[in-house]
Amino acid sequence: MSATDTVPNDVAALSSATVHEAAGRIGALPSAIKPLDLAWHLVAPAFPARLPPGDNLWLHRAVYAAKPGAVLVVDTGGGFEFGYWGEILAEAALARGLAGLVIHGGVRDAQRLRELGWPVFAERVCIRGTVKDPAGDGALGKPINLGGVDVAEGDLVVADADGVVVVPAARAAEVTARSHERDRAEAETIRRLRAGETTLAIYGLG
């Protein structure tokens, strides 16, 4: 079974904002985490990784521990001001068939990452290099917490220009269905607005 088997087939077109609302306004990762390219859209199961601040050895390990189709979701232990990820790791992840990267920390080689077209969502871009300590305290596939949001292996990650949301795997199908309902309702609202109605009338705002 590949990692993509945990993702509902009909979730690919959904937006992060819609999924966040449909889930009950839970799961939004820190708003500083944004795509290097605003056109990128990512829907995939999470593979969490925890790194020691300023050390990216566990990221190299994560590329080969995660299943094809997974997105790496990375906790840098608050060590934001480092470039943990760059062109070499992106090429390795592409070769492995991984879906993308979400990192609460920095990346570098930003222009080359955009050219590769492989989705990277990062807290910042930073040129400062990292170390690779074999004795560093990290973990792979174990639950992490980013900005108060718990992320476990297999959780549904939806990311786009607005941000990143994580939905527990057990709720993925339910939230997907609710998201589609919201999209249909919004499409009807837009139809009514274009027909001349007001938001005040549609939403009963007086």
**pLDDT single digits (tens) 44-77:** 999 999 999 999 999 999 999 999 999 999 999 9
Strand-pair partners of 160: 163
Query: In total, how many domains does the chain have?
Result: 1
Domain that holds residue 73: 3-202
What SS3 state is found at 146?
strand
Summarize pLDDT for 122-170 with one digit per residue, the tens. Answer: 999 999 999 999 999 999 999 999 999 999 999 999 999 999 999 999 9
**pLDDT at residue 1 greater than cutoff 60:** no
For the residues of 44-95, what is the DSSP string, one character each? EEEEEEE--TTB-HHHHHHHHHSPTT-EEEEE-TT--SSEEE-HHHHHHHHH
The domain spanning residue 84 has which CATH number? 3.50.30.40
